[in-house]
Chain A
C-alpha cells in the first residue's frame, strides 16, 4: 500500500529528495567535524566552508547578504526568535505592542501569546473572507509603542498570499520592524529582500523536500535582536548550539533544486484538482481564488466531516489534512477557517491538499474520483442536505 500512497500533505512535511541526501552524506560520514575558526584543523575548516556556502545559497535565494542569514532548527524556532528576540531588544527601549493576524501559524501565534503573558500587548488583525489583510487596517493598528509587525507571506491552510510589499512598506514608513513567516511560500512565490522591506523572514527546509530540523531566519543588517538560546557564539552570536552542518548543506541543496518549471507544474496539478473537486455539489474553495500558493488547495464539502473524509481517503491510499475540530488536538475548529469568517460547519468539512515534487498528474485524477466518491458515501449517512 505504501508504494501506491498518494501524498497530498506536503505543507506538513515533504519526502526528502534523494539528491539532498546525497549532498548531506559527506557531512555525516567524512566531514563531521564542528565548524572551527580559520585557525583550526582542516576537517573543521572544510565543515565551516560548507556551512558558509550553504548560508550563501539561502541568502542568494532571498537577495540577502550571507551574514544576514542564521540557521535554526526550523520555522518554529525562527519565528520564536524573531518575536521574542525583538521583544527583548525593544520592549524596554521603545514599547510593548506587537501587531499580527488572526490566521498566523502556531509558532507566531503562540509566541505572541507568550509575550502577552509577559505584559506585551498584541493586536490580532482580522483578515477578509479570502484571507487577505488590508494594508490600511495594518496602518490603523500601528501605535507609537509598536515594535514589531508579524504577518505571514502565505497561509499554511488556505494558501492565501499577503500583499507583503504593501504591508512591509506600511511598517517601514512608521519605523516599525516587520517579520514574515515565509515557511510555505519560500521559493514557491518570489521574495527579494532588496525590494520588499522586510526585516525578519522565517524559513524552513521541511516544506521543500529538504531535511527535518533545519530552518533559517533572515535578519536584516542592524535589526535589534536578543538571542533566545544561550551557549556558544555560533551563528553570529545569535543562536548558540553546534551547527547542524549536514542539515544546512541539505537545506541549500533543497533550495537549488526548486525551479520555476516545478512551480508551474505544481500550479497545473493544483488547478486541475480544484476544477475537478468543485464539480462535487456543495463544495467551495477556501482562500483567495488566484492569490494563493501554487501548491495549495483547500476545499470545504458541506454536510460531511473532515476526519471521516481523511480516514476513508487513507484507506484508499491518499493522505490529506483537515481543519475539522475532530482532527485537532484542542478539539477546536481551524482558527484559519474561523478567521476568514467561516463557521464551524465550513471548518468541519474542510480538506487541505498540498502538492509536492513527487506528485503526478495521474494522481490528481485518482484523487478527484476518490474524494468525490467518499464525500458522496458520507453524505448518504448524513442527516443534513437531504431536503
Chain B
C-alpha cells in the first residue's frame, strides 16, 4: 500500500496489542489531552518485590502512529523491570516499528512519555523517588529533548532550535530560533508548554519565537 507508514506500523495500527484498561492497576498515566490533539493512557501492573512489569495496557485517542507506538511500547515494556522500562526511548520504539515519518514523531512520543509518567507515578507512590529538585535550565533542557522538531523528526535541542532558557520565580521563558509565522510555530509552542508546565515548581511557560 502506498502509505508513508511501514508495514510494521500498519500492522500494529490494524491489530494493536495490549489494548484496554487494567481496573486494579498499580500505576497509570494519561499524556496529552483532547484540547491539544492526541492522548494516550498507560496502565501498569507491577510486581511489588521484583519491580517487574507483569501486565501493561494502553488506550489511544490518536492517529495511526500514536496507536502503533502505544502498541509497540507495551510489547517492549512487558516483563521488564521499571528501571529498565523507563529507559525505553522513542527512538527504540520507532526502530522496533521500522521507522516513523518525521512529521509523526510528535504523535508517537506521547506513548513513551505515558509509560515513563506511569512508572514515575508508581515510584512516587511507593516512596522510590528521591527528593524533588528545583527546576533548573538543565531540567528544562531535558524536557525540551522530548519536543520534536517536525521538520526533521529530531528534538528541538539536538536541532539547535532552543536559543535561550530563562527561569525566574517559576516562570520559564523559552526562546526558539524560528520565525513567529513559521509553519510549525503554533504546534511547537503547544508542545513546549505541554512538556514544561507539569514541572512541580513551574507556574507559567512563555515561548518566544526569535528567528
Docked complex Cα distance between A274 and B124 (Å)? 49
List the interface of chain B (C-beta within 8 A of A): 1, 3, 10, 13-14, 16, 19-20, 30, 34-41, 59-64, 66-67, 103-104, 106-107, 150, 183-184, 186-187
| Residues of chain A from 318 to 352 with CB closer than 8 A to chain B in the complex | 324-327, 329-333, 343-345, 348
Is B34 a contact of A326 with CB atoms below 8 Å?
A: no
Is B61 a contact of A305 with CB atoms below 8 Å?
A: yes
Is A344 a contact of B34 with CB atoms below 8 Å?
A: yes
Docked complex Cα distance between A383 and B110 (Å)? 14
Docked complex Cα distance between A28 and B64 (Å)? 43
Is B37 a contact of A330 with CB atoms below 8 Å?
A: no
Docked complex Cα distance between A383 and B40 (Å)? 7
| CB-CB under 8 A for A315 and B14, given A331-B184, A332-B187, A345-B35 | yes
Contacts of A382 on B, CB cut-off 8 Å? 59-61
Docked complex Cα distance between A307 and B103 (Å)? 14
Contacts of A331 on B, CB cut-off 8 Å? 103, 106, 150, 184, 187
Contacts of A327 on B, CB cut-off 8 Å? 63
Is B64 a contact of A311 with CB atoms below 8 Å?
A: yes
Q: Is A308 an interface residue (CB 8 A)?
A: yes
Nearest-neighbour CB distance to chain A for B59, whole angstroms, equals: 4
Can you show 7 pairs from A to B with CB atoms below 8 A apart?
A307-B64, A325-B37, A330-B183, A330-B187, A332-B187, A348-B61, A384-B39
Is A308 a contact of B62 with CB atoms below 8 Å?
A: yes
Specify which of A325, A329, A332, A383 is in contact with B41 (CB 8 Å cutoff). A383
Docked complex Cα distance between A325 and B107 (Å)? 10
| Residues of chain A from 345 to 387 with CB closer than 8 A to chain B in the complex | 345, 348, 380-384
Docked complex Cα distance between A314 and B4 (Å)? 13
Specify which of B13, B34, B60, B103 is in contact with A329 (CB 8 Å cutoff). B103
Can you name the residue of chain B whose Cβ is closest to the Cβ of A307? B63
Nearest-neighbour CB distance to chain B for A336, whole angstroms, equals: 16
Is A311 a contact of B61 with CB atoms below 8 Å?
A: no
Query: Which 8 residue pairs across A and B have the least CB separation, nearest first?
Result: A326-B63, A383-B59, A383-B41, A307-B63, A345-B34, A331-B187, A381-B19, A382-B61
Nearest-neighbour CB distance to chain B for A351, whole angstroms, equals: 13
Q: Classify the secondary structure of B's interface with A.
A: mixed
Is A383 a contact of B35 with CB atoms below 8 Å?
A: no
| CB-CB under 8 A for A304 and B13, given A344-B35, A383-B39 | no
Is A333 a contact of B67 with CB atoms below 8 Å?
A: no
Q: Is A303 an interface residue (CB 8 A)?
A: yes
| CB-CB under 8 A for A344 and B20, given A305-B61, A332-B186, A381-B60 | no
Is B30 a contact of A383 with CB atoms below 8 Å?
A: yes
Docked complex Cα distance between A160 and B128 (Å)? 57
| CB-CB under 8 A for A343 and B39, given A331-B150, A332-B186, A381-B60 | no
Q: A348-B37, A384-B34 are in contact. List 8 more A-B contacts (CB 8 A).
A: A305-B63, A307-B64, A308-B13, A326-B63, A330-B187, A331-B184, A343-B34, A381-B67
Is A311 a contact of B13 with CB atoms below 8 Å?
A: yes
Can you name the residue of chain B whose Cβ is closest to the Cβ of A386? B21
Can you name the residue of chain B whose Cβ is closest to the Cβ of A333? B37
Nearest-neighbour CB distance to chain A for B101, whole angstroms, equals: 11
Is A305 a contact of B66 with CB atoms below 8 Å?
A: yes
Is A383 a contact of B37 with CB atoms below 8 Å?
A: no
Contacts of B64 on A, CB cut-off 8 Å? 307-308, 311
Contacts of B20 on A, CB cut-off 8 Å? 381
Contacts of B16 on A, CB cut-off 8 Å? 381
Can you name the residue of chain A whose Cβ is closest to the Cβ of B39? A383
Can you name the residue of chain B whose Cβ is closest to the Cβ of A1? B1
Contacts of B19 on A, CB cut-off 8 Å? 380-381
Is B184 a contact of A330 with CB atoms below 8 Å?
A: yes
Instruction: Encode A71-96 as 1/0 by CB contact (under 8 A) with B.
Output: 00000000000000000000000000
